[in-house]
Amino acid sequence: MTFAVILTASACSSTSSSDATSTTTPAVAPNTVTTTTEVLPSTTVATTQSAVPPAATTTAAAEPATMPNVVCMNLQAAQNAIQRAGVFFSRSEDATGEVRSQIVDSNWIVVSQTPLAGSPVTEGQAVLSAVKIGEPNPC
């Protein structure tokens, strides 16, 4: 393998235009220095071994939480209660079937829940059906 290093040095000229007569300093010719170094391949291979074997990795299944009773709570309070129980991913849906998005959770009231209160629940299993506050509901 061959590597080349090229260094270039140059100077700039300057021109003064403040007089009617101007003087120009000639530019210096650039100097170039080239250095070539040949690198021979190495036959030595460096290896590293750890005296301590890597720790075994085990993934424990998440313990199911107990689903709280969140019916008749506003949707935000219901989600907070489920999170306090240890489940951080729950879903909500429009109980009227109109497929409206629940943008401001505190403007919705939970009218049914899956799973039922007291049942085991894990991430993604909690589904809360809600209607907008002020719409007909059993609460």
In this prediction, residue 63 carries a pLDDT of 86
pTM comes to 0.56
| Half-sphere exposure in the Cβ direction for 83 (13 Å, CA) | 9
DSSP state of 1: -
| Half-sphere exposure in the Cβ direction for 129 (13 Å, CA) | 13
Q: For the segment 89-103, what is each residue's pLDDT rounded down to a tens digit?
A: 999 999 999 999 999
Q: For the segment 28-53, what is each residue's pLDDT rounded down to a tens digit?
A: 555 656 656 666 666 555 555 556 55
In sequence order, the β-bridge partners of residue 31 are 9
In this prediction, residue 91 carries a pLDDT of 97
Domains of the chain: 66-132 (3.30.10)
**With contact defined as beta carbons under 8 Å apart, do 129 and 93 qualify?**
yes
* Alpha-carbon 69 to chain mean position: 33
Tokens, residue 127: 């589904």
